Structure 1
Amino acid sequence: MAGVDEAGRGPVIGPMIVAGVLVDDSSICILEQAGVTDSKRLTPQRRVKLFQCVLEVAKSVVFLEVSPSEIDEAVRSGVGLNELEACKMAEVVDRLQPDVAYLDATDPHPSKFEGRVRRYLACSTRLIAEHNADEKYVIVGAASIVAKVIRDVKVEELRAYGDVGSGYPHDPRTINFLRCWVREKGCLPPFTRQTWKTARRILDEVLQKKLV
Protein backbone atom coordinates (compact mmCIF):
# COMPACT_ATOMS: atom_id res chain seq x y z
CA MET A 1 0.00 0.00 0.00
CA ALA A 2 1.00 3.62 -0.44
CA GLY A 3 0.19 6.97 1.10
CA VAL A 4 0.44 10.32 -0.67
CA ASP A 5 0.42 13.81 0.82
CA GLU A 6 1.78 17.29 0.20
CA ALA A 7 3.56 20.01 2.13
CA GLY A 8 3.73 23.67 1.21
CA ARG A 9 0.41 24.14 -0.52
CA GLY A 10 -0.25 27.59 0.94
CA PRO A 11 3.12 29.39 1.31
CA VAL A 12 4.00 32.45 -0.73
CA ILE A 13 7.67 31.43 -0.81
CA GLY A 14 9.21 28.14 -1.88
CA PRO A 15 8.01 24.94 -3.54
CA MET A 16 5.20 22.54 -2.80
CA ILE A 17 6.36 18.99 -2.18
CA VAL A 18 4.18 16.00 -3.07
CA ALA A 19 5.46 12.77 -1.52
CA GLY A 20 4.48 9.12 -1.59
CA VAL A 21 5.54 6.20 0.59
CA LEU A 22 5.15 2.53 -0.37
CA VAL A 23 5.30 -0.22 2.28
CA ASP A 24 4.34 -3.84 2.77
CA ASP A 25 1.18 -4.24 4.84
CA SER A 26 3.25 -5.97 7.51
CA SER A 27 5.41 -2.86 7.96
CA ILE A 28 2.55 -0.60 9.02
CA CYS A 29 2.84 -1.76 12.63
CA ILE A 30 6.50 -0.69 12.68
CA LEU A 31 5.54 2.83 11.63
CA GLU A 32 2.73 2.88 14.20
CA GLN A 33 5.03 1.78 17.00
CA ALA A 34 7.58 4.41 16.00
CA GLY A 35 4.91 7.11 16.38
CA VAL A 36 4.43 8.07 12.74
CA THR A 37 1.50 10.45 12.38
CA ASP A 38 0.46 13.71 10.72
CA SER A 39 3.61 15.84 10.42
CA LYS A 40 1.78 18.89 11.80
CA ARG A 41 1.54 17.13 15.16
CA LEU A 42 5.30 16.67 15.41
CA THR A 43 8.20 18.92 16.35
CA PRO A 44 10.83 19.52 13.65
CA GLN A 45 13.30 17.32 15.53
CA ARG A 46 10.77 14.49 15.85
CA ARG A 47 9.87 14.76 12.16
CA VAL A 48 13.49 14.35 11.12
CA LYS A 49 13.90 11.30 13.33
CA LEU A 50 10.73 9.69 11.96
CA PHE A 51 11.77 10.63 8.43
CA GLN A 52 14.78 8.35 8.85
CA CYS A 53 12.51 5.61 10.20
CA VAL A 54 10.24 5.89 7.16
CA LEU A 55 13.21 5.64 4.79
CA GLU A 56 14.39 2.48 6.55
CA VAL A 57 10.98 0.78 6.56
CA ALA A 58 9.59 1.82 3.16
CA LYS A 59 9.97 -0.24 0.01
CA SER A 60 10.03 3.00 -1.96
CA VAL A 61 9.78 6.74 -1.33
CA VAL A 62 9.02 9.24 -4.09
CA PHE A 63 8.71 13.01 -3.97
CA LEU A 64 8.08 15.73 -6.53
CA GLU A 65 9.15 19.34 -6.12
CA VAL A 66 6.58 21.71 -7.60
CA SER A 67 8.27 25.06 -8.14
CA PRO A 68 6.65 28.46 -7.55
CA SER A 69 6.83 29.17 -11.29
CA GLU A 70 4.97 25.93 -12.09
CA ILE A 71 2.31 26.83 -9.53
CA ASP A 72 2.02 30.35 -10.99
CA GLU A 73 1.64 28.93 -14.49
CA ALA A 74 -1.18 26.65 -13.33
CA VAL A 75 -2.97 29.55 -11.64
CA ARG A 76 -2.56 31.95 -14.57
CA SER A 77 -3.70 29.37 -17.13
CA GLY A 78 -6.84 28.58 -15.18
CA VAL A 79 -5.75 25.02 -14.38
CA GLY A 80 -5.60 25.88 -10.69
CA LEU A 81 -3.72 24.49 -7.73
CA ASN A 82 -6.18 21.66 -7.02
CA GLU A 83 -5.83 20.29 -10.54
CA LEU A 84 -2.05 20.64 -10.47
CA GLU A 85 -1.87 18.80 -7.15
CA ALA A 86 -4.10 16.01 -8.46
CA CYS A 87 -1.80 15.62 -11.47
CA LYS A 88 1.28 15.42 -9.24
CA MET A 89 -0.34 12.92 -6.88
CA ALA A 90 -1.19 10.73 -9.86
CA GLU A 91 2.42 10.89 -11.00
CA VAL A 92 3.60 9.79 -7.56
CA VAL A 93 1.14 6.88 -7.50
CA ASP A 94 2.19 5.81 -11.00
CA ARG A 95 5.82 5.74 -9.92
CA LEU A 96 5.05 3.68 -6.80
CA GLN A 97 2.56 1.26 -8.47
CA PRO A 98 0.79 0.14 -5.26
CA ASP A 99 -2.33 -2.03 -5.09
CA VAL A 100 -4.05 0.72 -3.11
CA ALA A 101 -3.10 4.34 -2.44
CA TYR A 102 -4.48 6.54 0.34
CA LEU A 103 -4.59 10.24 -0.52
CA ASP A 104 -5.05 13.31 1.63
CA ALA A 105 -7.87 15.08 -0.22
CA THR A 106 -7.65 18.86 -0.55
CA ASP A 107 -10.98 19.28 -2.34
CA PRO A 108 -14.09 19.90 -0.17
CA HIS A 109 -15.49 16.75 -1.81
CA PRO A 110 -13.03 13.83 -1.45
CA SER A 111 -14.76 11.75 -4.12
CA LYS A 112 -14.34 14.61 -6.57
CA PHE A 113 -10.65 14.85 -5.75
CA GLU A 114 -10.26 11.08 -6.12
CA GLY A 115 -11.86 11.27 -9.57
CA ARG A 116 -9.58 14.13 -10.54
CA VAL A 117 -6.48 12.11 -9.61
CA ARG A 118 -7.89 9.07 -11.42
CA ARG A 119 -8.08 11.02 -14.69
CA TYR A 120 -4.31 11.47 -14.67
CA LEU A 121 -3.49 7.96 -13.46
CA ALA A 122 -1.95 5.43 -15.85
CA CYS A 123 -1.92 2.43 -13.47
CA SER A 124 -4.93 0.55 -12.07
CA THR A 125 -4.25 1.35 -8.40
CA ARG A 126 -7.32 1.61 -6.17
CA LEU A 127 -7.55 5.12 -4.75
CA ILE A 128 -8.97 6.14 -1.38
CA ALA A 129 -9.10 9.92 -0.87
CA GLU A 130 -10.22 11.36 2.46
CA HIS A 131 -9.99 14.56 4.43
CA ASN A 132 -7.36 14.44 7.18
CA ALA A 133 -6.01 11.18 5.81
CA ASP A 134 -2.64 12.07 7.33
CA GLU A 135 -4.28 11.76 10.76
CA LYS A 136 -6.39 8.68 9.96
CA TYR A 137 -3.83 6.51 8.17
CA VAL A 138 -0.25 5.93 9.29
CA ILE A 139 0.90 5.47 5.71
CA VAL A 140 -0.35 8.95 4.77
CA GLY A 141 1.22 10.32 7.94
CA ALA A 142 4.51 8.86 6.71
CA ALA A 143 4.09 10.65 3.38
CA SER A 144 3.29 13.90 5.18
CA ILE A 145 6.51 13.60 7.18
CA VAL A 146 8.57 13.03 4.04
CA ALA A 147 6.95 15.98 2.27
CA LYS A 148 7.35 18.33 5.24
CA VAL A 149 10.98 17.44 5.97
CA ILE A 150 11.95 17.93 2.33
CA ARG A 151 10.01 21.20 2.14
CA ASP A 152 11.85 22.40 5.27
CA VAL A 153 15.19 21.57 3.63
CA LYS A 154 14.22 23.56 0.53
CA VAL A 155 13.21 26.57 2.64
CA GLU A 156 16.45 26.32 4.61
CA GLU A 157 18.38 26.59 1.34
CA LEU A 158 16.57 29.87 0.61
CA ARG A 159 18.00 31.38 3.80
CA ALA A 160 21.11 32.10 1.75
CA TYR A 161 19.08 35.10 0.52
CA GLY A 162 18.07 36.25 4.01
CA ASP A 163 15.55 35.44 6.72
CA VAL A 164 12.66 34.14 4.63
CA GLY A 165 10.86 32.83 7.71
CA SER A 166 8.55 29.88 7.15
CA GLY A 167 7.44 31.14 3.75
CA TYR A 168 3.81 31.41 4.85
CA PRO A 169 1.78 34.63 4.41
CA HIS A 170 0.99 34.81 8.14
CA ASP A 171 4.70 34.86 9.09
CA PRO A 172 5.94 38.43 9.81
CA ARG A 173 9.51 37.44 8.91
CA THR A 174 8.36 36.25 5.49
CA ILE A 175 6.43 39.47 4.88
CA ASN A 176 9.36 41.60 6.02
CA PHE A 177 11.75 39.68 3.76
CA LEU A 178 9.51 40.24 0.74
CA ARG A 179 9.08 43.95 1.46
CA CYS A 180 12.83 44.47 1.83
CA TRP A 181 13.54 42.53 -1.36
CA VAL A 182 11.01 44.53 -3.39
CA ARG A 183 12.28 47.85 -1.97
CA GLU A 184 15.84 46.95 -2.95
CA LYS A 185 15.29 45.22 -6.30
CA GLY A 186 11.93 46.49 -7.51
CA CYS A 187 10.55 42.99 -8.10
CA LEU A 188 9.59 39.84 -6.23
CA PRO A 189 12.15 37.07 -5.58
CA PRO A 190 12.19 34.34 -8.24
CA PHE A 191 11.25 31.75 -5.60
CA THR A 192 8.00 33.58 -4.78
CA ARG A 193 4.54 32.51 -5.93
CA GLN A 194 3.84 35.71 -7.77
CA THR A 195 0.15 34.97 -8.32
CA TRP A 196 -0.47 34.83 -4.56
CA LYS A 197 -2.48 37.80 -3.24
CA THR A 198 0.12 38.42 -0.54
CA ALA A 199 2.92 38.74 -3.10
CA ARG A 200 0.92 41.02 -5.40
CA ARG A 201 -0.17 43.22 -2.48
CA ILE A 202 3.40 43.68 -1.21
CA LEU A 203 4.68 44.44 -4.71
CA ASP A 204 1.96 47.04 -5.29
CA GLU A 205 2.38 48.64 -1.84
CA VAL A 206 6.15 49.01 -2.01
CA LEU A 207 6.26 50.24 -5.60
CA GLN A 208 3.41 52.67 -4.95
CA LYS A 209 5.33 54.19 -2.03
CA LYS A 210 8.33 54.69 -4.30
CA LEU A 211 6.18 56.77 -6.63
CA VAL A 212 4.98 59.07 -3.84
Structure 2
Amino acid sequence: MIGPMVIAMVYCPGEKLKLLASLGFKDSKKVAPSTRRRLAKILPSIGCGVEKVAVEPHLIDCAVRGECYQNLNYLEAAMAAGLINQVAQSIPLETVYIDSPDPVPDRYAEAVKSFLKIPVRLVVENYADEKYVIVGAASIVAKVERDSIIEELKKTYGDFGSGYPSDPKTKRFAVEWLKKNPEPPPIARKEWDSWKKLLGK
Protein backbone atom coordinates (compact mmCIF):
# COMPACT_ATOMS: atom_id res chain seq x y z
CA MET A 1 0.00 0.00 0.00
CA ILE A 2 2.92 2.30 0.81
CA GLY A 3 6.57 2.09 -0.19
CA PRO A 4 8.63 0.15 -2.71
CA MET A 5 8.77 -3.53 -3.47
CA VAL A 6 12.26 -4.90 -2.87
CA ILE A 7 13.59 -7.90 -4.78
CA ALA A 8 16.85 -9.48 -3.64
CA MET A 9 19.22 -12.15 -4.89
CA VAL A 10 21.70 -14.03 -2.72
CA TYR A 11 24.32 -16.15 -4.46
CA CYS A 12 26.71 -18.63 -2.86
CA PRO A 13 28.77 -21.70 -3.72
CA GLY A 14 26.64 -24.79 -3.20
CA GLU A 15 28.74 -25.96 -0.28
CA LYS A 16 27.67 -22.87 1.70
CA LEU A 17 23.99 -23.88 1.87
CA LYS A 18 24.36 -26.03 4.99
CA LEU A 19 26.15 -23.16 6.69
CA LEU A 20 23.30 -20.80 5.82
CA ALA A 21 20.80 -23.19 7.37
CA SER A 22 22.91 -23.65 10.50
CA LEU A 23 23.14 -19.88 10.95
CA GLY A 24 19.36 -19.56 10.92
CA PHE A 25 18.60 -18.35 7.41
CA LYS A 26 15.01 -19.17 6.44
CA ASP A 27 11.78 -17.52 5.32
CA SER A 28 11.98 -13.92 6.57
CA LYS A 29 8.45 -14.11 7.99
CA LYS A 30 9.75 -16.64 10.54
CA VAL A 31 12.70 -14.51 11.69
CA ALA A 32 12.59 -11.64 14.20
CA PRO A 33 13.52 -8.18 12.82
CA SER A 34 16.72 -7.90 14.89
CA THR A 35 17.82 -11.36 13.73
CA ARG A 36 17.03 -10.49 10.11
CA ARG A 37 19.28 -7.44 10.31
CA ARG A 38 22.11 -9.45 11.87
CA LEU A 39 21.86 -12.24 9.30
CA ALA A 40 21.72 -9.86 6.34
CA LYS A 41 24.96 -8.21 7.48
CA ILE A 42 26.99 -11.43 7.72
CA LEU A 43 26.36 -12.78 4.21
CA PRO A 44 29.48 -11.21 2.61
CA SER A 45 31.69 -12.50 5.44
CA ILE A 46 30.67 -16.11 4.76
CA GLY A 47 31.32 -15.92 1.03
CA CYS A 48 27.87 -15.04 -0.27
CA GLY A 49 27.04 -12.16 -2.58
CA VAL A 50 23.97 -9.95 -2.51
CA GLU A 51 22.16 -7.89 -5.13
CA LYS A 52 18.89 -6.06 -4.63
CA VAL A 53 16.58 -3.63 -6.34
CA ALA A 54 13.84 -1.39 -4.94
CA VAL A 55 10.88 -0.99 -7.30
CA GLU A 56 9.23 2.38 -6.73
CA PRO A 57 5.45 2.71 -6.29
CA HIS A 58 4.92 4.61 -9.55
CA LEU A 59 6.42 1.71 -11.52
CA ILE A 60 4.33 -0.79 -9.57
CA ASP A 61 1.21 1.23 -10.43
CA CYS A 62 2.24 1.38 -14.07
CA ALA A 63 2.54 -2.42 -14.16
CA VAL A 64 -0.78 -2.94 -12.35
CA ARG A 65 -2.43 -0.81 -15.05
CA GLY A 66 -0.70 -2.91 -17.70
CA GLU A 67 0.95 0.13 -19.25
CA CYS A 68 4.68 -0.57 -18.87
CA TYR A 69 4.54 -4.33 -18.28
CA GLN A 70 1.87 -6.93 -18.97
CA ASN A 71 1.08 -7.05 -15.25
CA LEU A 72 2.77 -6.88 -11.84
CA ASN A 73 4.18 -10.39 -12.14
CA TYR A 74 5.95 -9.44 -15.36
CA LEU A 75 7.47 -6.43 -13.63
CA GLU A 76 8.75 -8.71 -10.86
CA ALA A 77 10.05 -11.15 -13.47
CA ALA A 78 11.91 -8.37 -15.27
CA MET A 79 13.51 -7.17 -12.04
CA ALA A 80 14.47 -10.70 -10.99
CA ALA A 81 15.98 -11.38 -14.40
CA GLY A 82 17.86 -8.09 -14.20
CA LEU A 83 19.52 -9.21 -10.97
CA ILE A 84 20.41 -12.58 -12.51
CA ASN A 85 21.86 -10.92 -15.61
CA GLN A 86 23.88 -8.54 -13.45
CA VAL A 87 25.37 -11.29 -11.26
CA ALA A 88 26.06 -13.54 -14.25
CA GLN A 89 28.42 -10.92 -15.69
CA SER A 90 30.97 -11.76 -13.00
CA ILE A 91 29.88 -15.09 -11.47
CA PRO A 92 29.04 -18.32 -13.33
CA LEU A 93 25.55 -19.38 -12.24
CA GLU A 94 24.43 -23.00 -12.39
CA THR A 95 20.98 -22.94 -10.79
CA VAL A 96 18.80 -20.05 -9.66
CA TYR A 97 15.97 -20.66 -7.20
CA ILE A 98 13.05 -18.25 -7.37
CA ASP A 99 9.92 -17.76 -5.28
CA SER A 100 6.97 -17.43 -7.66
CA PRO A 101 4.32 -14.76 -7.00
CA ASP A 102 2.24 -16.45 -9.71
CA PRO A 103 0.09 -19.43 -8.60
CA VAL A 104 1.31 -21.10 -11.81
CA PRO A 105 5.11 -21.18 -11.31
CA ASP A 106 5.85 -22.38 -14.85
CA ARG A 107 4.19 -19.27 -16.24
CA TYR A 108 6.35 -17.07 -14.02
CA ALA A 109 9.45 -19.05 -15.01
CA GLU A 110 8.72 -18.33 -18.67
CA ALA A 111 8.31 -14.64 -17.88
CA VAL A 112 11.70 -14.56 -16.13
CA LYS A 113 13.32 -16.43 -19.03
CA SER A 114 11.97 -13.87 -21.49
CA PHE A 115 14.13 -11.21 -19.80
CA LEU A 116 17.28 -13.30 -19.31
CA LYS A 117 20.40 -12.70 -21.40
CA ILE A 118 22.19 -15.89 -20.31
CA PRO A 119 21.25 -19.57 -20.15
CA VAL A 120 20.73 -20.75 -16.58
CA ARG A 121 18.69 -23.47 -14.90
CA LEU A 122 15.71 -22.03 -13.03
CA VAL A 123 13.85 -23.68 -10.17
CA VAL A 124 10.69 -21.62 -9.74
CA GLU A 125 8.19 -22.62 -7.07
CA ASN A 126 5.53 -21.18 -4.81
CA TYR A 127 6.75 -20.79 -1.21
CA ALA A 128 10.35 -21.27 -2.35
CA ASP A 129 11.42 -19.07 0.57
CA GLU A 130 10.17 -21.83 2.88
CA LYS A 131 11.68 -24.68 0.85
CA TYR A 132 15.15 -23.43 -0.08
CA VAL A 133 17.53 -21.76 2.36
CA ILE A 134 19.08 -19.60 -0.38
CA VAL A 135 15.65 -18.13 -1.20
CA GLY A 136 14.98 -17.65 2.50
CA ALA A 137 18.24 -15.70 2.71
CA ALA A 138 17.15 -13.50 -0.20
CA SER A 139 13.80 -12.88 1.47
CA ILE A 140 15.63 -11.72 4.60
CA VAL A 141 17.79 -9.30 2.59
CA ALA A 142 14.72 -7.92 0.80
CA LYS A 143 12.80 -7.45 4.04
CA VAL A 144 15.70 -5.71 5.79
CA GLU A 145 16.17 -3.37 2.81
CA ARG A 146 12.48 -2.52 2.59
CA ASP A 147 12.28 -1.93 6.35
CA SER A 148 15.25 0.44 6.09
CA ILE A 149 13.60 2.38 3.26
CA ILE A 150 10.32 2.56 5.19
CA GLU A 151 12.09 4.00 8.23
CA GLU A 152 13.65 6.71 6.05
CA LEU A 153 10.26 7.57 4.51
CA LYS A 154 8.77 7.97 7.98
CA LYS A 155 11.19 10.84 8.63
CA THR A 156 9.32 12.76 5.93
CA TYR A 157 5.76 11.43 6.19
CA GLY A 158 5.43 10.43 9.84
CA ASP A 159 4.74 6.99 11.26
CA PHE A 160 2.52 5.10 8.81
CA GLY A 161 3.31 1.65 10.19
CA SER A 162 4.62 -1.11 7.98
CA GLY A 163 3.07 0.16 4.76
CA TYR A 164 1.12 -3.07 4.29
CA PRO A 165 -2.69 -2.88 3.85
CA SER A 166 -3.20 -5.37 6.70
CA ASP A 167 -1.59 -2.93 9.16
CA PRO A 168 -4.20 -0.84 11.07
CA LYS A 169 -1.65 1.97 11.51
CA THR A 170 -1.12 2.12 7.74
CA LYS A 171 -4.87 2.24 7.18
CA ARG A 172 -5.27 5.06 9.71
CA PHE A 173 -2.47 7.02 8.04
CA ALA A 174 -4.18 6.65 4.66
CA VAL A 175 -7.53 7.83 6.02
CA GLU A 176 -5.97 10.84 7.75
CA TRP A 177 -3.87 11.70 4.68
CA LEU A 178 -6.93 11.80 2.43
CA LYS A 179 -8.75 14.08 4.86
CA LYS A 180 -6.09 16.71 4.18
CA ASN A 181 -5.04 15.88 0.60
CA PRO A 182 -6.97 15.07 -2.59
CA GLU A 183 -4.57 12.32 -3.68
CA PRO A 184 -2.45 9.65 -1.96
CA PRO A 185 1.18 10.56 -1.20
CA PRO A 186 3.93 9.94 -3.79
CA ILE A 187 5.09 6.91 -1.77
CA ALA A 188 1.69 5.20 -2.18
CA ARG A 189 0.84 2.35 -4.51
CA LYS A 190 -2.17 4.20 -5.83
CA GLU A 191 -3.55 1.29 -7.86
CA TRP A 192 -3.95 -0.84 -4.73
CA ASP A 193 -7.58 -1.62 -3.88
CA SER A 194 -7.04 -0.21 -0.39
CA TRP A 195 -6.47 3.29 -1.79
CA LYS A 196 -9.21 2.97 -4.42
CA LYS A 197 -11.77 2.07 -1.77
CA LEU A 198 -10.80 5.07 0.32
CA LEU A 199 -11.03 7.29 -2.75
CA GLY A 200 -14.39 5.79 -3.72
CA LYS A 201 -13.10 4.50 -7.05
User: TM-score, length-normalised on structure 1?
Assistant: 0.87
Cα deviation, residue 172, structure 1: 1.2
Residue aligned with 2:51, SS: strand
Letter in 1 for 2:71: G
Letter in 2 for 1:34: L
Aligned residues: 194
CA RMSD of aligned residues (A): 1.3
In structure 1, C-alpha distance between the alignment counterparts of 2:129 and 2:46, rounded to whole Å: 18
Establish whether residue 178 from structure 1 lines up as the match of residue 174 from structure 2.
yes
1:71 to 33, 44, 60: 60
Find the aligned partners of 2:46 and 2:71 in 1 and give their Cα distance: 35
Say which of 136, 142, 154 aligns to 2:137: 142
Deviation at 1:53, TM superposition (A): 2.2
Matched-pair contact (CA < 8 Å) for 2:43–2:49: no
User: C-alpha distance in 1, partners of 2:47/2:195?
Assistant: 38
Residue 8 of structure 1 aligns with which residue? none
Q: Alignment partner for residue 191 of structure 1, among 175, 183, 187?
A: 187
Structure-2 separation of matches of 1:106 and 1:86? 9
Name 2:78's counterpart in structure 1: 87
- Say which SS state the counterpart of residue 164 (structure 1) adopts: coil
Contact 1:167 1:174 in 2 (8 A): yes
Residue identity over aligned pairs, in percent, reads 40
1:128 matched to 2:119? The reply is: no
8 Å CA contact 2:26–2:129 kept in 1: the answer is: yes
- Superposed displacement of residue 186, structure 1: 2.0
1:17 corresponds in structure 2 to: 6
Contact 2:27 2:136 in 1 (8 A): yes
CA distance in 2, matches of 1:121, 1:129: 14
Shift of the 195–58 alpha-carbon distance from structure 1 to 2, 3 Å rule, reads farther
C-alpha separation between the residues in 2 aligned to 1:106 and 1:152?
A: 20
**Mapping for residues 53-72 of structure 1, pairs under 5 Å:** 53-72=42-61
Listed as ranges, the gaps of 5+ residues in structure 2 are none
Q: Quote the offset at 1:29 in angstroms.
A: 1.9
Residue ranges of structure 1 left out of the alignment (5+ in a row): 1-11, 206-212
* In 2, Cα distance between equivalents of 1:60 and 1:54: 7
Structure 2 CA distance, aligned partners of 1:184 and 1:152?
Answer: 26
Q: 2:26 aligns with which of 37, 41, 63?
A: 37
Map Cα deviations across residues 88-119 of structure 1 (whole Å, 9 max, x no partner): 11111111222210000111111111111101
Write the letter of the residue equivalent to 2:28. Answer: S
What stretches of structure 1 move > 4 A for 4+ residues in a row?
A: none
